[in-house]
Structure 1
Amino acid sequence: MAPQKTGIKVVVVGAGFGGLTAAIECHRQGHDVEIYESFPELKVLGDIISFGSNAGRIFYRWGEDGSVVKRLRALSIQNKGFNIHKWDTGEVVFTQPSAEIKPTAPPLHGHRGELHQIIFEFARDELKIPIHLGHRVNQYWEEDGEAGIILQDGTKVVADMVVGADGVRSKARELVLGYVDKPKSSGYAVWRAWFSNKDMIADPRTKEFCENGDTFNGWIGQDVHFLFSTIKDGSDCCWVLTHKDSHDIDESWSFPGKVEEVLEVLKGWDPTCSAIVEKTPPEVLVDWKLVYRDPLPTWVSPKGRIALVGDAAHPFLPTSAQGATQSMEDGVTLAVCLRKAGKEGVPAAVRSYQDLRYERVGKVQKTGESTRDLWHKTDWAKVKEDPKSIAFPREAWIHDFDAEKHAEDNFAETFKVHSGGASA
């Protein structure tokens, strides 16, 4: 059934998971929405990405009878548990069972580009949301009654509000804050890669990971952890190694990686780790510097018609395994707020969105640091006494959260604050 139209026009800048979710949810809530993206074409790039059950719950509501989540699950890892190894001996100190698969809210782990393609095509081809590729935004603007963007070719696009889903290098952030907010080094970096199992399965040291379906293994060391997965019944391999790094990130934080540098860090480790890395085609290895920003004082522009979502507002460390999921929760919340406020209440709706999201996002962000520190400062004597203490935290307050229900239930109270006491 088609949603009842609200008459609110929304422009989304950025077609990543956060931008696509904001657009899909705006469509679901009856808003008129379109996306502008600087990339000229969709490319299936990247490596593994994780979505918690709180994202699976959002995906499940898209398409007929959970059709989108079915497509995503078909490409996602189907492992039976997470084997956590001691870094030097390689012994498995704990096998953490996989999260419960709830059909209406499944966790999902798969290739970033392949999962992204499913969502992109659902938005464009099934929902018919206009997605303008190859359109770089030069400027954001807002007035009392409208807001919009100016493209590189000078075209002015007008809307009731603009969603800045333009990532860590966000241009929208400058208008929202009133100054340029430069990213800082987190002191850590990751090497990451995704490749075929062709050489892995031919080597007796590594073939076990490819012959027994999907697998998920992690080696935990001092200031370093190495995560390795096989996926699609063992046919694809991917790994991520997090380590200390103080590289200057003023200009760029993504570089081609060097296998020999990874092997240097893994000296003295379980030889299995080096055996895996040696199979990595050099051209697929990426050296990614992890950046962070101080918490922004606001995600909303002065007149309340531009809102930041996802990495533009709150970059996450990979150890949270929640960055993309939290950007999706942003889009769901914003779309609900706009519908409940109506066209005349857009600025108050946008400010309500921030109020409903700000505290939760800050708490979830901190889990990225706490999980990293849990692993990088492991007390192995304690782990021997209590193997579960090294498990990846999987907290119910994060994963059981329903962003749509939370927005529906809590909107009225926060809207009153921003609309002079009027209720929606």
Structure 2
Amino acid sequence: MIDLKNTPRERAILIALPVGGFTKEQVEEHLDELELLASTAGAETVFKILQDRIKPDPAYFIGKGKAEEIAQLIELNDIQIVIFDNDLNPTQVRNLEKLFNRKILDRSGLILDIFALHAKTREAKTQVELAQLEYMLPRLTRAWTHLSKQYGGIGTKGPGETQIETDRRLIRTRISKLKENLRKIESQQIVKSSARKKLINATLVGYTNAGKSTLLNLLTNASVLAEDKLFATLDSTTRIFNLEKNKQILLSDTVGFIRKLPAHLVASFKSTLNVVSDADVILHVIDASHDYFEDHIKTVDDTLRQLHCDKKLQIKIFNKIDALKEKDIINYISANYPGSYLVSAQRGIGIQKLKSALIDIYEQNFVEGELRISHTQPKKISMVYEIAEVLDTRYEDEFVLLKYRTSKINENHIKKLIQHN
């Protein structure tokens, strides 16, 4: 148990159980991450507790004896909220709330609360509300309703504030409406993405706080919020990245991944995460200075599998090398992750090598060509403009001569145009 300095923020106890084959050291690191999540949500961690059990107690998760011990700690230290690193079932939540008489939140609920805090656009707010309602539906209890109304604060943002007036039927109706809204948003994005197929699409993915937004800002002069906080970015952002003269790609940033990311949250953010599905190349940004960066790599790769994007071309970018405490890590990364790139987005280190790699990908995937199309076939001329970047246009007596650059896939479509000319 670690006693930490308190501040006037909402006072919290964090609790973890070493389940799922994790070592004690790994679970302690998970607790540290939970503390960052709690801080992002607005809580000050007063105690962190690692309970050693072979398996979770079905009624109290940590066992009734330990729960009663923590109940005393809550009363003595004016704790307002108890946060578990593991997901709890409705029975465990109900029993713990009754015993503690405080808000109980698990890791998924905390992540959803942070997403609600950071959602700014209509799309993000819709996605977060859908995920919150799907999380809330099986957890509706009188005790939860009473506490959410009485205490407010963390874990009660968004739909939680009005839960006392809702029931399961109303929530299911609202879920259906939100899903329909997201389908409309997704169909609009399909139209937008089809218009972008003239260029290679590269998408930045990575564990939350790996430095994706900082890298996007450096490469494209974007003005995306880049903070040393978890989930600072929720909405995807796409900018043109000028590799060199007349060579451009589209570069997108999206929400960071994290271990134990709720499945319904990934599903709700499908429209935002479509930039990953649409990507020609995935740029996997990794915080090389983090002690458990290889766990982060696994989490991101697992999430990409969940999105059916694990077969795409992927480049690993190890960021924050300027913050490395041990320089031997550079040798370890070079030996174990061949073809990866070591950079510092903050200081601009290693960026030129990364650019060169992207230029190689560009040249491997893009071709230039010329074709003649009759003046009498304006639709075909228009189609070339839609799927290729037209570099030059010359008008002859009966034909239009177009010089273009496009992807190899679109080149095949253009060849078919010529065959039927």
Q: Which has the larger radius of gyration?
A: 2
**TM-score between both structures, scaled by the size of structure 2:** 0.27
Higher relative contact order (CA 8 A, sep 6+): 1
Structure with higher helix content: 2
**TM-score between both structures, scaled by the size of structure 1:** 0.27
